[in-house]
Structure 1
Amino acid sequence: MFYKRFYLFLFALALITPARGQSAQTDLKYTVSMPEPAKQVYKVKFECNGVNREWIDVKMPVWMPGYYQILNYADNVSHFHVQGQGTDTVKWERANFNTWRIYSNRAARLTITYDVKAIRNFVATNFLDEQRGFIAPTGTFMHVDGMLGQPVTVTIEPYGKWSRVATGLEPVPGKQYTYAATDFDVLYDSPILTGDLEELPSFTVKGVPHYFIGYKPGQFDRTAFISELKKVIEAAVDLMGDIPFKHYTFIAIGPGGGGIEHLNSTAISFDGTGMNNPESRKRMLSFLAHEYFHHYNAKRIRPIELGPFDYDKGSRTEMLWVAEGITSYYEAFLLKKAGITSEADVLKKFEHHILNYENKPGRLFQSVSQASYDTWADGPFGRTGDDVNKTISYYDKGPALAMLLDFRIRHESANKRSLDDVMRTLYKEYYQAKKRGYTPKEFRTVCEQAAGVPLGDFFEYIYTVKDVDYPKYLAYAGLKIDTAAKPAAGAWLGISGRERNDTLTISAVDWESPAWMAGIRPRQILKSIDGKPATMQSLRDIAGKTAGSIVNLQVIQDGTLKSFPVILSTNHTRSYAISRMPNANKLQAAILSSWLREGK
């Protein structure tokens, strides 16, 4: 962020201290300019001095930590050029998809220049237009292979009259728009936004300033919003008992979707739409609570695979159900503790997670640990577009299991310990003391130490597709859950459609529905129903028939018109509604009260 505030003298001293194993003369610095933003191209200059090798490889990461997908940033690079001292051009060649090999012949100074296309407005990619520029550092800054631990500085040259820069990086004293990182992990974890930006009122928590700055945040009651946001942040800090940074910045990139956590900032899509509506504001505050809590859980309390990062391949872990799922779990309680949501809101949130998980056939095929590991291929919400979705989302099963784990720990410890204690222990023992992430075995050990008993039966839910015994675990907190299957109204065919230009395409077929069992699949064309042209209305009308009736469908499969007689049936659904038991005992009542953050 562009500050009119004091700078940290000790940090500035650290910047001039060479990384272990590197020459004291090594100097790495970048300049990013945007002289013609309408062309949506950043111009990057990388001054690489003092490396002194026969040849060096410079690499562009293929992903951004926090967004577990390969993004192929190197595809956006063009006009790569290397200059030595004076005007000498240095030979180079493309070594592979994300590596450029420079035959530097031990040159003391190299200036590497390249363009970066910036056309996708998303929190993990570069974007530039005539109003603002968002710099995704992993998609902008190349690094010298083997020198990720080296300090680096970045200078931004904003376009025209732009005067604001928002970032979590430390400003270099006396140099406008120049920022420093102690190593590339810090640089790659610090997005940058510049442009016609606005700043909302700042606030402090335990003396640490928190800023909210972005592009066109919209018109709403900013004071009320910031007041509520501060309460959410205070709830997070009270829970963990520590703030591991000197300042924090919410970087709002404008309308769109998504948010990504970083060490002392988060990049979020935000345009203020609906922020004067209480329910919309709750959803946004929940989203911000999630991203903020990530600076504890994911960035510092982290699976051991998530740091040091593999910027060439990505870093797979089976523990995203903890890093993401447990973070989603705590969203509910940060807002509840802040006085923004009610008990009903909390229970409804977990009903929603359970419904989303239980209503997917993927629960029969994929464990939550597999979903964590396979997110690189499947995506964070599971695969879409398959005939049957055999994947799940750790954003649904993760928080649901976190709730059960919390209840189990509270029950076994007579409400003396909870999942909160697990998170604090992981923070202190692994992040602060051991300065590393935890293994799956270590996570389980900490949970069992908090509970005081083995938790093998619970951890089966992590590594298998075993049916979850919700009633057993919710009863620990004096809660009940409606898992009874009830018949839905109307006859059930199991087809969803999409109509366009008088063509009805089958968009989805329910798993093991009458249509599925007959052999009908998504992406096929539904031509007729009972001899009449198929329309969305005639498809909807099938629900008005009686279960056991026969409906005759004509469907185009692989270019061939086929007939399918289908016997309609009754669909059975479960509500998973959660409510209080009428006669909870003393321990159950105490667990529920403390879980809901009552009287704290």
Structure 2
Amino acid sequence: MSLRSYFLSSAILMGAAGIIGASGPLQAKAHAAEVSGQPQPLPLPPALPTARDVSYGGTITLNVNATDLQRHILTMQETIPLPPDVSEKGGDFILLYPMWLPGDHSPTGTLDQLAGLKISAGGKQIPWVRDTVTVSAFHVQVPKGTHQLDVSYQLLTPVSPKEGRVVMTDAMVNVQWSAVSLYPAGYFTRQIQFKPQVVFPAGWSYGTALRSDGAQSGHTVTFKTVSFNTLVDSPIFSGKYFKKFDLTQDDKVPVTLNVMADRPEDLAATDDQIKAHRELVHQANLLFGSHHYDHYDFLLALTDKLGGIGLEHHQSSENSGPRGYFTKWDKTFAARDLLAHEFTHSWNGKYRRPADLWAANFNTPQRGSGLWVYEGQTQYWGYVLAARAGLMTAPQVEDALAEVAAVYDGRQGRMWRPLIDTTNDPVIAQRAPQSWRSWSRSEDYYSEGQLIWLDADTLIRKLSDNKKSLNDFADTFFATNNGSFVTSTYQFDDVVKALNAVQPYDWATFLHQRVQDIRDHAPLDGFSRTGARLTFTEKPSDYIESYSTLRHVTDFLFSLGFAVGKKGVISEVLWGSPAWQAGITRDQELVAVNGEVYDADDLKDAITAAKAKSAAPITLLLRDGDSFHTVSITYHGGLRYPHLEGKMDGLGAILSPLSGKISVTDHKE
């Protein structure tokens, strides 16, 4: 029976069973519906097999050709040995394309880019049929006696940002194994073994958490056999201009900063800059008192061509930064918490993980109820570790925290939506642009979560007379089973228990109020306990200047209520702000201010001049598609940028480097 006949027969039989099996009132209702001509639903196809925690048996080999840079195409060859029961009997064998990717918290698999799928056995092509419900599943009707499948396909990666994230340029390639792999259904992915191989462009170097098996032929590198979980968790950066920096500490566990760039001059790092990255590893080891990797590879692309990315992995990062990351060190510091953030995820997110974010395979939906810990506390430690390492100064981090406090305290969406509900946003919005982000809220569990953990840290310090802090929580909660790679899951009560072990308090209520309740204001008690308070001045902080330069935006959020991006395009409008009251929306182009062609400095001058109560409204000419319209905004508040003022001793203590040394014999259980 052909695969298409199999599905058709199944549907007919299931439909017939539904009719023949009906009796009495049900039969009468069905007959009445049929007579009246009303449609009835067809039965769904059979469910996919449930993943089992048993060994798949054979090892799948996967070859990726990453050399077609001009057309941005990755080409794959996969050899899949079949289980004995499938070989003996033949029948329906299902291959899955990964969709639910760890770290994305949503079904973001690039299934739309998969093309050219051909499956054969013994030189004969075998037809496949896509599942009509789970469209990432491919049914293969395997002939009896078949022992392996030979599978070929391509990934048609975006040729420009208009189609999606660019992963291939003339100088670099980002291979994400989830995008270039098919795997058999019915098994935990940790139980499926892969032997990966990559063909790189001539002369290029690469970085990855994978390790070569020593076999290299020309530009082809073969890596050691790993589980599919480990493979998906070990992306590759490969580039024409590439440099490696050793960050290994006294514990002798190898840590490497792998940097690729659009141009060779972007790789010119100074000794002091690398020293700060080496100190990041040292400070993280002191904070967490453990590690859950036997080597770690930071992957950093300095580029304006490769698509931006910030993704965590157990033994590597996967990040992009500005081209001036090293060469314009004094101007790019607003991007330098990123590596600290992703490194923290090795402990928080990859090793310790909310139970509902763990899944048996990459096609099982995940739930993000614990993301305020997974991402929120990681965001907190990212800033703290950046300061402790010297990647950012303490005043720079304080300015960054002021910006976070101002944004989330003024977020109007908190009037209707609790923070916990934003943990669903990766699935709801999948990080698509939002017209009114300040009202709908977005993934606020990141930065508002950061404020919650600052609140908790300062409260622990206060209650314990500075004998304890959130450092102690990190040292116990994330430091279990030092050296273990096995994910350790947790739930809300486990977090509460760990906090109480550090400092007794009603932490359940503390967290419920901040995470699950609707609250008028962001949790800013962490600032007041340190002696700092949020205020606004007419001068932007150095952090805002750095952030604005990196993002190509000019910030008027706390005055008129909007931000302006490239070419004068409005990138955000705050709900309820003067701009919102005037009917301004994002994506309109700001053409003129008070009759003069728009210039950011001129608008700043106009806002300052309008401080006088007798001043005329500020007049803005806006272009919306092919239409132009003028709005007048009556505003006398002047320029406003967030700052912290008061005693900074408390924040200074949090951001100060830890002292000590990690011994190679240190081991926590």
Compared CA separation, residues 526 and 95, structure 1 to 2 (3 A): same
1:439 alignment partner in structure 2: 491
Residue 575 of structure 2 corresponds to residue 511 of structure 1 = yes
Q: Which of 225, 240, 245 is 2:273 aligned to?
A: 225
Per-residue CA deviations over 1:45-103 (Å, capped at 9, x if unaligned) read 11111324222111111243223454341211111111112x22222112242121111
Per-residue CA deviations over 1:486-515 (Å, capped at 9, x if unaligned) read 9x99x9766778998xxx987665433456
Whole-angstrom CA distance in 2 between matches of 1:592 and 1:69: 37
Q: What are the within-5 Å matches in structure 2 for residues 56-75 of structure 1?
A: 56-75=93-112
1:169 alignment partner in structure 2: 210
Whole-angstrom CA distance in 2 between matches of 1:435 and 1:459: 26
Compared CA separation, residues 498 and 591, structure 1 to 2 (3 A): closer
Are 2:419 and 2:515, in contact at CA under 8 Å, matched by a contact in 1? Answer: yes
Residue 426 of structure 2 corresponds to residue 385 of structure 1 = no
1:76 alignment partner in structure 2: 113
1:9 alignment partner in structure 2: none
Are 2:608 and 2:639, in contact at CA under 8 Å, matched by a contact in 1? Answer: no
2:141 alignment partner in structure 1: 103
State the one-letter code of the partner of 2:465: A
Compared CA separation, residues 430 and 320, structure 1 to 2 (3 A): farther
Whole-angstrom CA distance in 2 between matches of 1:413 and 1:466: 27
1:363 alignment partner in structure 2: 414
Are 1:506 and 1:522, in contact at CA under 8 Å, matched by a contact in 2? Answer: yes
Q: Which of 222, 227, 231 is 1:187 aligned to?
A: 231
Whole-angstrom CA distance in 1 between matches of 2:100 and 2:624: 39
SS in 1 for 2:138: strand
1:158 alignment partner in structure 2: 200
State the one-letter code of the partner of 1:33: N
Whole-angstrom CA distance in 2 between matches of 1:292 and 1:499: 32
RMSD over aligned CA atoms reads 4.1
TM-score, normalised with respect to structure 1: 0.80
Compared CA separation, residues 597 and 142, structure 1 to 2 (3 A): same
Compared CA separation, residues 121 and 464, structure 1 to 2 (3 A): farther
Whole-angstrom CA distance in 2 between matches of 1:76 and 1:559: 34
Are 1:30 and 1:45, in contact at CA under 8 Å, matched by a contact in 2? Answer: yes
State the one-letter code of the partner of 1:22: S
Relative contact order (C-alpha < 8 Å, sep 6+): which is higher? 2
Whole-angstrom CA distance in 2 between matches of 1:132 and 1:558: 36
Compared CA separation, residues 578 and 120, structure 1 to 2 (3 A): farther
Compared CA separation, residues 563 and 452, structure 1 to 2 (3 A): same
Whole-angstrom CA distance in 2 between matches of 1:308 and 1:46: 24
- Total equivalences in the alignment: 563
Are 2:61 and 2:79, in contact at CA under 8 Å, matched by a contact in 1? Answer: yes
Per-residue CA deviations over 1:111-148 (Å, capped at 9, x if unaligned) read 111111123689x9673355443211111111111232
Return the offset for 1:321: 2.2
Compared CA separation, residues 511 and 95, structure 1 to 2 (3 A): closer
2:128 alignment partner in structure 1: 92
Are 2:242 and 2:267, in contact at CA under 8 Å, matched by a contact in 1? Answer: no
Residue 301 of structure 2 corresponds to residue 249 of structure 1 = no
Compared CA separation, residues 152 and 121, structure 1 to 2 (3 A): farther
SS in 1 for 2:384: helix
Uncovered stretches (5+) of structure 1, i.e. residues with no partner: 1-18, 582-588
Return the offset for 1:41: 1.5
Are 1:413 and 1:450, in contact at CA under 8 Å, matched by a contact in 2? Answer: no
1:454 alignment partner in structure 2: 506
Compared CA separation, residues 221 and 543, structure 1 to 2 (3 A): closer
Which stretch shifts more, 63-72 or 234-243?
63-72
Compared CA separation, residues 202 and 513, structure 1 to 2 (3 A): closer
Residue 337 of structure 2 corresponds to residue 286 of structure 1 = yes
Return the offset for 1:293: 1.4
Residue 152 of structure 2 corresponds to residue 113 of structure 1 = yes
SS in 2 for 1:39: coil
Return the offset for 1:443: 1.5
Percent identity over the alignment? 18
Are 2:337 and 2:383, in contact at CA under 8 Å, matched by a contact in 1? Answer: yes
Residue 245 of structure 2 corresponds to residue 201 of structure 1 = yes
Return the offset for 1:188: 0.8
Compared CA separation, residues 575 and 45, structure 1 to 2 (3 A): closer
Whole-angstrom CA distance in 2 between matches of 1:524 and 1:197: 39
Q: What are the within-5 Å matches in structure 2 for residues 298-337 of structure 1?
A: 298-308=349-359, 311-312=362-363, 314-337=365-388
State the one-letter code of the partner of 1:154: P
Return the offset for 1:308: 2.3
Uncovered stretches (5+) of structure 2, i.e. residues with no partner: 1-51, 541-555, 661-669
Whole-angstrom CA distance in 2 between matches of 1:201 and 1:559: 51
State the one-letter code of the partner of 2:141: Y
State the one-letter code of the partner of 1:73: T
State the one-letter code of the partner of 1:465: I
Compared CA separation, residues 471 and 513, structure 1 to 2 (3 A): closer
Whole-angstrom CA distance in 1 between matches of 2:180 and 2:129: 19
Whole-angstrom CA distance in 1 between matches of 2:628 and 2:331: 47
Which stretch shifts more, 433-442 or 302-311?
433-442
1:22 alignment partner in structure 2: 55
Are 1:135 and 1:191, in contact at CA under 8 Å, matched by a contact in 2? Answer: yes
Are 1:318 and 1:369, in contact at CA under 8 Å, matched by a contact in 2? Answer: yes
Compared CA separation, residues 79 and 303, structure 1 to 2 (3 A): same
Are 1:492 and 1:543, in contact at CA under 8 Å, matched by a contact in 2? Answer: no
Q: What are the within-5 Å matches in structure 2 for residues 338-417 of structure 1?
A: 338-339=389-390, 341-378=392-429, 384-386=434-436, 389-392=439-442, 393-417=444-468
